[in-house]
Amino acid sequence: GFCTGTKHSRGNKADLKEMKKAIVSGSTGFIGASFVEYLIQNGVEVLALGRKEKKRISNLRKQKLKGAVYLNLDMSRICDLECKIREIKWDVSEDCIFFNLAWGGVDRLSDMNIEAQMQNVAWSISALEISKSIGCKRFIQVGTMEEAFTYKYLELNHRDHDEFNRHVIYSIAKISAKHSLILKASEIGMDFIYVLHSHVMGPDDDKDSFLQVTLRKLIDGDELVFSSGVQYFDVISTKDCTHGYFLICTKGVPGEEYWVGSGEPRRLREYVERMYKMFPSGQKMQFGKLPYNDVSLNPEDFSTELLCRHTGYKPSMTYEQTVRELHDSFVNSEYN
């Protein structure tokens, strides 16, 4: 069920002049741990929430969480947060934000298990309610790039079209969470911002994303067989993603939806070709050998215009710098 608590009568449109404290759920994930590290480096006190016991967190992510107060709290028990912070005597300041990155499936983050995905929707609403109850100033929910595909996917008449997107259950749940949170935030008088981001690339990503797998193939000299790669895509570094998050926390406008990306989406093939130019393997790139049966996005679907206008966001790393950083992490891990 959802949490209920006392409502704080704080104006919900006031600017967040300074973010002194932050509660970050999903803090042990690839992006979550990096964001916690970024916040700490910028002088923010962080309460990091995660479903893993501390001893089960990887050493690299444990290092990123160093400096935060870590609380092992699964989202299914998010209603216990008020009691837990009293127990550990963690004080919520006037300018504390709740940044909700937590999301999970049964087998993986974006599996096809409808019940597991929809549980996340209820837990997100509970997190919003408890954040209001404990006195947080602002609640920020993170969505997924897959939502852009899903809106188009749902417009299809599937008697005539056979496009398939395995992420659609995951992203429908994300969209459901967004609309539910907008309504609930309005009802309880809470600042609410929704964030989407392009594909995040960087060291320590434990998911086998397409470009990461391609880089591995280049390093190992494996066969390079792809679809046509004509579909549009966008990539940002972990550093730029976490910087974008930070700007949204402090300068974002309540009620808005922001996209954190490079501002320069390209066709997927171009990303592969630029990667190959950096690390040629001798294997021929074979585009068009694999089928691609999904909807395609347009460059404007990845627009960062509102984010740039409201917060002054500008990416600092090029795609090549991002690839180089990931490549070096692969090579270093093999020698260590």
pLDDT tens by residue, 122-152: 999 999 999 999 999 999 999 999 999 888 8
Can you tell me the distance from the alpha carbon of 278 to that of 292, in angstroms, rounded to the nearest whole number? 26
Tell me what pLDDT residue 174 has.
Answer: 95
pTM: 0.92
Spatial contact of 184 and 128, defined as CB atoms under 8 Å apart: yes
Can you tell me the distance from the alpha carbon of 319 to that of 308, in angstroms, rounded to the nearest whole number? 19
Q: Looking at the predicted structure, is the pLDDT value of residue 110 above 70?
A: no
CA distances from 108 to 18, 28, 175 (A): 36, 15, 18
pLDDT digits (tens, 9 = 90+) for 214-262: 999 999 999 999 999 999 999 999 999 999 999 999 999 999 999 999 9
Q: Of 69, 111, 78, give the one whose Cα is nearest residue 3.
A: 78
To the nearest whole percent, how much of the chain has pLDDT over 70? 91
Lowest mean pLDDT among 188-192, 200-204, 206-210: 206-210
Tokens 């917060």 identify what position?
311
